[in-house]
């Protein structure tokens, strides 16, 4: 897009009641629409057929392509969104990547360094930290803990993961697809889940914790002796 066409698109948004904090660093394609009351921060790119609703907040350094954003959505700093839909009152980022096929319902939170791909996420569900959600369907009011991974690729084909409503997925969980977690399931921290889990169940892996008292002092003693 030429500089003049970009400036024309920016002026069009401003005339529609959109606030651009730095128009000179905002890039808007001709087919993009943005609702009144939305505030767009610096260095934002709105590409393709992107649609942004009313009263949204885009903090800045965002790159949106063919994205559909509902009303009152907060896109925190440095998010990349392509071929995805986001419901009303959702919060995304910072540093989140929503890949094609992602569909988020209202009030979903996708946080720091979370990546989604073909992820359908129900209302009020949260995945706030360091998570990969690929080829997954998640119900309502579920919480996905930090470090969770849906292992969707077996080296030959992609497989789906299904997570029900009100599920609590503990941090550092690995879900090996294809796998289904029923409603109200609790997944203990650092679990690897390879089989379907019925509704209301707790799933965990047996791991014995071992403590060796005095190990650090003995290790340092050996290290010093070796240097001598």
Quickly state the pLDDT bin for 209 (edges 50, 70, 90). Answer: confident
- Contact at 8 Å (CB) between 85 and 68? yes
Cβ neighbours of residue 10 under 8 Å, at least 6 residues apart? 20, 23, 26, 28
Domain count, the chain: 1
pLDDT for res 165: 98
Tens digits of residue pLDDT in 96-137: 999 999 999 999 999 999 999 999 999 999 999 999 999 999
What is the pTM (predicted TM-score) of this model? 0.92
Give residue 1's pLDDT.
56
- Alpha-carbon span 6 to 114, nearest angstrom: 31
Q: Which of 74, 129, 159, 195 is catalytic?
A: 129
Spatial contact of 30 and 5, defined as CB atoms under 8 Å apart: yes
Let me know if 159 is a catalytic residue: no
pLDDT of residue 208: 85
Q: Which residue has the tokens 């989604």?
A: 116
Average pLDDT of the residues of the chain:
95
**Residues 75-100 pLDDT 10s:** 999 999 999 999 999 999 999 999 99
For residues 120 and 137, is the Cβ–Cβ distance under 8 A? Answer: yes
Q: Inform me whether the pLDDT recorded for 3 exceeds 80.
A: no
pLDDT in tens, 6-63: 788 889 999 999 999 999 999 999 899 999 999 999 999 999 999 999 999 999 999 9
Q: What is the DSSP secondary-structure string of 112-169?
A: ET-EEEEEEE-TT-EEEES-EEEEEEE-TT-EE-TT-EEE-B-SS-B--EEE-TT-EE
Q: Is the pLDDT of residue 170 over 60?
A: yes
* Residues of the domain holding 159: 3-227
CATH at 151 = 2.160.10.10
CA 181 from centre of chain: 20
């Amino acid at each position: 897009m030429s500089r003049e066409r970009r400036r024309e698109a920016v002026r069009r948004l401003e005339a529609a009641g959109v606030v651009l904090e730095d128009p000179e660093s905002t890039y808007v394609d001709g087919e993009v629409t943005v609702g009144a009351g939305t505030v767009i921060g610096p260095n934002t790119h709105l590409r393709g057929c992107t649609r942004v609703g009313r009263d949204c907040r885009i903090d800045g350094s965002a790159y949106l392509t063919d994205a559909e954003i509902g009303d009152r959505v907060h896109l925190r700093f440095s998010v990349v969104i392509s071929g995805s839909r986001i419901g009303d009152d959702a919060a995304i980022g910072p540093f989140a990547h929503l890949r094609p096929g992602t569909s988020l319902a209202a009030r979903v939170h996708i946080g720091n360094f979370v990546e989604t791909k073909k992820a359908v996420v129900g209302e009020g569900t949260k995945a706030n930290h360091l998570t990969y959600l690929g080829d997954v369907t998640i119900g309502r009011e579920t919480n996905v803990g930090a470090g969770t991974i849906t292992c969707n690729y077996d080296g030959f084909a992609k497989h789906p993961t299904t997570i029900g409503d009100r599920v609590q997925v503990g941090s550092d969980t690995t879900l090996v697809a294809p796998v289904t977690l029923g409603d109200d399931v609790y997944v203990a921290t650092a679990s690897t889940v390879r089989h379907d889990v019925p509704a209301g169940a707790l799933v965990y892996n047996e791991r014995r914790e071992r403590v060796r008292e005095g190990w650090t002092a003995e290790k340092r003693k050996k290290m010093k002796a070796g240097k001598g």
